[in-house]
Chain A
Amino acid sequence: MSASKTGKFGASLANLRSLESLATRDTPLHRISPTIKIAATFAYIVAVVSFGVYDFSGLLPFAAYPIIVASAGEIPYGLLFKRTLIALPFVAFAGTANIIFDRAPVELAFGLKITGGMLSFAVLILKTLLTVSAVLVLAATTPLNAIASGLKRFGLPCILVLQFVMTWRYLEVLIDEAERMFHAYVLRSPDGKFVKFKDWPMMAGQLFLRAYDRAERVYGAMQCRGFDARRIHTHNIRETGGEIFGLILFAAACAALRCFNLSAAVGGIFS
């Protein structure tokens, strides 16, 4: 029991690092300037979230983007899908209200009818899947430091870039400390089960204090090696003309797909 639970911490850490290790690969996609990839992701997300609450068919062509990028970036589809699912429970919970309150019937293709709430719920889920997978493919094709460099190039204040980088780094520290505490706990708990409910507040408090202390020590080590929060180092990045042209084309394609319902047009041909 405890061994399997213990393994979950290792699995969490491995999961956390899996995207980072994918980002260090060398494919043509990985070599594209991070600025371009961030801008493309942003354009894509804006286009996806701008769709209406019932516009399911309009969103469908956008699914091609994460699939194509995952394929070009050699990102395993299974990993991408599993990581995308993490956000779904929260969105599904928020979207349940749609199903309950919006009961007006809406007609779909081929004469099918469902309630407006069901359709808007499906649109919400699809939007989540698309936007989260777009961010994940960005993370899996761009190293963390490169994303930070790209954000800085967009003029994001240093403090926000730093916060982004540190939050990601300290997640590992937090999981590592949680793992140590959990090991110490289960080895001295008679039944060797997971942390008892009554011990959660104590464990959470201790975890915070330990992670804070450790983060202080890590920060000290960083300072010893010349780290200065006011002058966060980022790579000097430049975009090529071809990359900028590609970005313009991509943004134009997003805009075109936003204005023109490709799925409906294709459906119209066959109906």
Chain B
Amino acid sequence: MISIENLSVRYPDGTLAINGLSLEIKDGESCALLGENGAGKSSLFKAILGLLPIESGKIAIGGVELTPKNLREIRKMAGMVFQNSDDQLFSATVEDDVSFGLRNCGVPESETREKCASAMEKFLVSHLKGRSPQRLSDGEKKRVAICATVITEPKALLLDEPTAQLDPRARREISELIGNLNLTRLIATHDLDFAKKYCPTCAILRNGKLRARGATSELLADGALMLECGLA
């Protein structure tokens, strides 16, 4: 589903964020992306969705290569839930925000309203529809952000630290919500319990490179690897 070949990404200030990374995420796979702060997890997500220019290498989603021409198609196939929901939710009301993606896809207004109502009900945010997203709790914001992303029915979902800044109950609820999504998922997280429970496979990044790839339970059991990658 997501294919990354020898990818290098450099920020405008010259910092090399991703350095020759290759990674393959299979259709339906739920893969945790682990690594210490600055390992390149968020940069990888931004590069996959064309928010950061690629220096070299290739990215393809569902067989469609990321090029300026295919950007729209790529963004239809892959949705991203940002680490900070405040960066993602910007509309006047929750309902407006949830329907934003559908409207951009040119979905007719009546259908948009129907889909929006059904998605909000599914993600238990119907009661928030008239509220301003800025004034919700972190757990509610995250729920709305996920709802707003999956409403366009992407084939793959990139989640950047979905359980960060949440209290234990909200973390449990959001984790279950993500676990129940029937999508290809690539989840950047520092929450190792979450990774163990909801991601059968994982990829560990270090200094912008892929350091390890395999079954989550096996890699997390490797104490030396965890220590080396700043995860223990």
A associates with B:
yes
Contact A224 B76 (CB under 8 A): no
Stretch at the interface among B26-34, B62-70, B83-91, B180-188: B83-91
Contacts of B124-145 to chain A: CB distance below 8 A? 130, 132, 134
Contacts of B69-117 to chain A: CB distance below 8 A? 72, 75-76, 79-80, 82, 84, 86-88, 90-93, 96, 100-101, 103-106, 109
For A144, the closest partner residue in chain B by CB is B92
Contacts of B35-49 to chain A: CB distance below 8 A? 46, 49
Contact B101 A225 (CB under 8 A): yes
Chain A residues within 8 Å of B90, by CB: 169, 172-173, 218, 221-222
B51 at the interface (CB under 8 A from A): yes
For B80, the closest partner residue in chain A by CB is A224
Which residue in B49, B50, B134 is a CB contact (below 8 Å) of A172? Answer: B134
For B107, the closest partner residue in chain A by CB is A233
* Closest Cβ–Cβ distance, residue B139 to chain A (whole Å): 19
Number of A residues near B (Cβ < 8 Å) is 27
B148 at the interface (CB under 8 A from A): yes
- List residues of A whose CB falls within 8 A of some B CB: 13, 17, 20-21, 24, 143-145, 169, 172-173, 176, 214, 217-218, 220-228, 233, 235-236
| Interface CB pairs A-B, < 8 A, 21 | A13-B134, A17-B132, A20-B92, A21-B92, A21-B93, A21-B130, A24-B92, A172-B134, A176-B134, A214-B86, A217-B84, A221-B88, A221-B90, A223-B75, A224-B49, A224-B51, A224-B75, A224-B149, A225-B100, A228-B104, A233-B106
- List residues of B whose CB falls within 8 A of some A CB: 46, 49-51, 72, 75-76, 79-80, 82, 84, 86-88, 90-93, 96, 100-101, 103-106, 109, 130, 132, 134, 148-149, 152
